[in-house]
Amino acid sequence: MGRGKLIAGYKITALEEMSKSHPIPIDSLNYLVISDNKVVFDSKMRYEHDDVFIPTQAMKGISRDPNGNKIYVNSILSGSDTSLVYYTASWDEIFSYAHAYTPRILLIILAFTLFSMIIYLIMLNMISKEVHIIRYGLQQIGENNLDYRITTDFKQSGLPEIAESINNMADRLNENINRAYHYQLKQKEAELSELQSKFNPHFLYNTLEMIRGKTLQNGDADTADTISQLAAIFRGFVGSKTFIPLPEELTFCKRYLSLFEARYGDSVEILFDIDSKILKYGIIRNVLQPLIENYFIHGFDTGEDRNYILFRGKSKDDRTYTITVEDNGTGMTEEELENLNRRLQEPIHVDTKSYGLKNLHQRLQLFYGPECGLTVSRNKDKGLSIQITVLKMTCEDYEKNNG
C-alpha cells in the first residue's frame, strides 16, 4: 500500500439554512459545532478567531467568552460524545431584548395607578359628603328635632335605604311621642274629672240607697236591685284602680249588663265563655263597658227575636290572651268596617273628642304596646266580632313593675 494523506470535505449549507430559519433580533446570537475541540461550523464564519467560546462539555447557563464578556450558552453532546452543538449570545443583549417593553409597561402601570388613586379620592370625597349628610341628620334628630328629614337623593348604593329607614324611625318616634303626650293630657283631664266626680260622692250613694230602700218597701224588688247595681257601677267608676283582676272586670261587666237586662228583658241573651286559665291575670279597668254600650246603642236589632252578646276569653300565645265580644246585631257594611279600622289607627287629638272604640284601642296600645289593641271584624253569621288582645300580666306583676 502506498503512503499519503486523505482529505475529506462536507457541506455546511444545510446548517446555515437551519441557523437562519428562525431569525431572532439578537445580533450576537451564534450557532457553532465543534469536534475534537475544533470549530467545524460557525454561523458567524469566524473559524480562526481566538475570541470564539468553545465549551469543554455540555452546559447551559451564563458564562464568559475569552474576552471576559458575559454570555449565555446552551450546548449538547452529539455523535459519540466527541462533538458539541451549541449556541451563544451576549447576556447584555438578551437582557435588553427581554426588557424592551418594560418601560412602556411600567408607564402604563403608573398611569393606571394614578387614575385609580384619582377615582378613589373622588369616590371617597363623594361618600364622605353623603355620610356627613346622614350624620348631620342623625344629630338633628338626636337633638329632638324630630321633624327633620334626611334627603334620599344619594349616589352611593345603600345610603338611600339607610336614610329612608332613619326617616321612618323619626316618623314613628315622633308619632309615639305625640301619642304619649296626648294620652298624658287626656289622662290629666280624666284625673281632673275623677276628682270632680269624687266631690262628696257619699251624697250620691246615700241618695241611691234611700231610693232603693223606698222602692223595696213598695214591693218593687227588681227596681231596687237595678238601683243597687247602678250604685255599685258608680263606685267602680270612681274608686277602682287602673289595673284590676280580670274577674273584677267581668263582675263590673255583669253589673253593667244587668241595667240593659232590666230594660230589654228576655229579648237579649248574655253569654260568657271564659277560660279559667286566664282568670289569674289582670286587665286595665273599663275595657268591656264601651263594647257593651256600642252594641246596645248601635248594634242591637229590635226586629230580631233572639238577640245575643257573647263574651269569650282564651289564651292566645305565651305572652297574650284575648277577650272577644260577639253579637248578632245590625253589624256594619264593608265600607263602614274599613273606615272604622282606619280611624282606630289614627292618633288622638286633644282638641277633638275621642270616645268609644277608638279611645279604648288607644288606651290598650299605650298601656300594653303596639302588639295589643282592638280588632273589629264581621261575625260569622250576623253582627260584629270585636277582639281585645292584652298581655298576660298579673296584678302583682303590675304593682312590682310600677312600684
pLDDT of 401 > 60? The answer is yes
The domain limits of the chain are: 13-98, 123-197, 199-239, 243-401
C-beta of residue 172 within 8 angstroms of C-beta of residue 141: no
Q: Which amino acid belongs to residue 365?
A: Q
pLDDT of 351 > 60? The answer is no
- The contacts found for 22-29 with CB under 8 angstroms, 24 or more apart, are 25/97, 26/89, 26/90, 26/93, 26/94, 26/97, 27/93, 28/71, 28/88, 28/89, 28/90, 28/93, 29/87, 29/88, 29/89
CA 157 from chain centre, in angstroms, equals: 16
Q: Which helix (DSSP H) or strand (DSSP E) does residue 271 occupy? A: strand 268-274
Work out the average pLDDT over 334-363: 73
Residue 87: beta bridge partners? 31, 74
Give per-residue pLDDT as tens, 187-213: 655 554 554 444 445 445 555 565 666
Give per-residue pLDDT as tens, 226-273: 666 666 666 665 555 778 899 999 988 888 788 777 777 778 888 999
Q: Which amino acid belongs to residue 343?
A: R
Q: What angle, 0 to 180 degrees and rounded to 10, lies between the N-to-C axes of helices 102-142 and 159-197?
A: 10
Q: Return the residue matching grid coordinates 233572639.
A: 306
Across the chain, mean pLDDT equals 79
d(CA 92, CA 114): 32
Q: Which amino acid belongs to residue 330?
A: T
pLDDT of 8 > 80? The answer is no
C-alpha cell at 26: 439578537
Per the model's pLDDT, the better-predicted residue between 105 and 230 turns out to be: 105
Q: Return the residue matching grid coordinates 342623625.
A: 138
Looking at domain 243-401, what is its CATH homologous superfamily? Histidine kinase-like ATPase, C-terminal domain (3.30.565.10)
Radius of gyration of the chain (CA): 52
Q: Return the residue matching grid coordinates 353623603.
A: 130
pLDDT of 281 > 90? The answer is yes
C-beta of residue 84 within 8 angstroms of C-beta of residue 34: yes
- Residue 266, phi then psi, degrees to nearest 5: -80, 0
CA 130 from chain centre, in angstroms, equals: 21
Q: Helix, strand, coil proportions of the chain in percent (round to 5)? A: 50, 20, 30
C-beta of residue 395 within 8 angstroms of C-beta of residue 243: yes
pLDDT of 109 > 90? The answer is yes
Residue 72: beta bridge partners? 62, 89
Give per-residue pLDDT as tens, 127-173: 888 888 888 888 887 777 777 888 888 877 788 888 888 888 888 88
Q: Which amino acid belongs to residue 385?
A: S
Selection from 210, 205, 253, 256 nearest residue 231 by Cα:
205
C-alpha cell at 216: 223595696
pTM over 0.85: no
Class of domain 13-98: alpha beta
